[in-house]
Amino acid sequence: MWKIKKSVLESIVQAAQNTHPNEFIALLGGNLKKQIVEEWVILPSIFGSHHASIRMDLLPYTACTVGSVHSHPGFTNKPSGADKHLFSKEGEIHLIICLPFSFQTIQAYSTKGTPLEFEVIS
Ligand SMILES: [Zn+2]
């Protein structure tokens, strides 16, 4: 099972709140082998009111990128078709957070868009 640092989840909640009603998107960094998410890499240039997308050419640390996270400014954290396409391209764990932004509204998905369980670590 994937493990995600509590501090990463806290900053995701914060970023989602700060960016609302726009979406935010960031990359998750960590260790693929150990299945740990330890940090996130935010890409400020892709904040916007349109559906968030990742500019792969802006990726600073592809070696330790394990997935992505983005917010939905609505009440569903189900991945859209575009989300699933993105999931299949990069990383192995993808988080979506929806309203009301909290730990409870963060859902993790696999590359195929199926829900994943994760453990919160400190
Ligand atoms: Zn989405």
Average pLDDT of the residues in 41-70: 63
pLDDT of 91 over the 50 cut: yes
Average pLDDT of the residues in 5-11: 96
What's the 54 CA to ligand 1 centre distance in angstroms?
11
What's the 95 CA to ligand 1 centre distance in angstroms?
9
- Whether 12 is covered by a domain: the verdict is yes
24-33, 53-62, 76-85: lowest mean pLDDT where? 53-62
pLDDT of 43 over the 70 cut: no
- Whether 55 is covered by a domain: the verdict is no
What's the 96 CA to ligand 1 centre distance in angstroms?
7
- Whether 106 is covered by a domain: the verdict is yes
In the structure, what pLDDT confidence band is assigned to residue 41 with cuts at 50, 70 and 90? confident
The contacts found for 107-114 with CB under 8 angstroms, 24 or more apart, are 107/77, 107/78, 108/2, 108/4, 109/79, 109/83, 111/87, 112/84, 112/87, 112/88, 113/79, 113/83, 113/84, 113/87
Q: Which residue, chain included where needed, has tokens 């453990």?
A: 119
Average pLDDT of the residues in 2-24: 93
- Whether 96 is covered by a domain: the verdict is yes
Domain span holding position 26: 2-48+61-121
What's the 32 CA to ligand 1 centre distance in angstroms?
23
- Whether 56 is covered by a domain: the verdict is no
Number of domains in the chain: 1
What's the 35 CA to ligand 1 centre distance in angstroms?
23
What's the 99 CA to ligand 1 centre distance in angstroms?
13
Query: What CATH number should be reported for the domain holding residue 23?
Result: 3.40.140.10
What's the 75 CA to ligand 1 centre distance in angstroms?
12
pLDDT of 26 over the 70 cut: yes
- Whether 54 is covered by a domain: the verdict is no
Structure tokens at 73: 């400014």
pTM of the model: 0.85
Question: How much of the chain, in percent, has pLDDT values that exceed 90?
Answer: 65
Q: Which residue, chain included where needed, has tokens 């509204």?
A: 105
43-47, 101-105, 113-117: lowest mean pLDDT where? 43-47
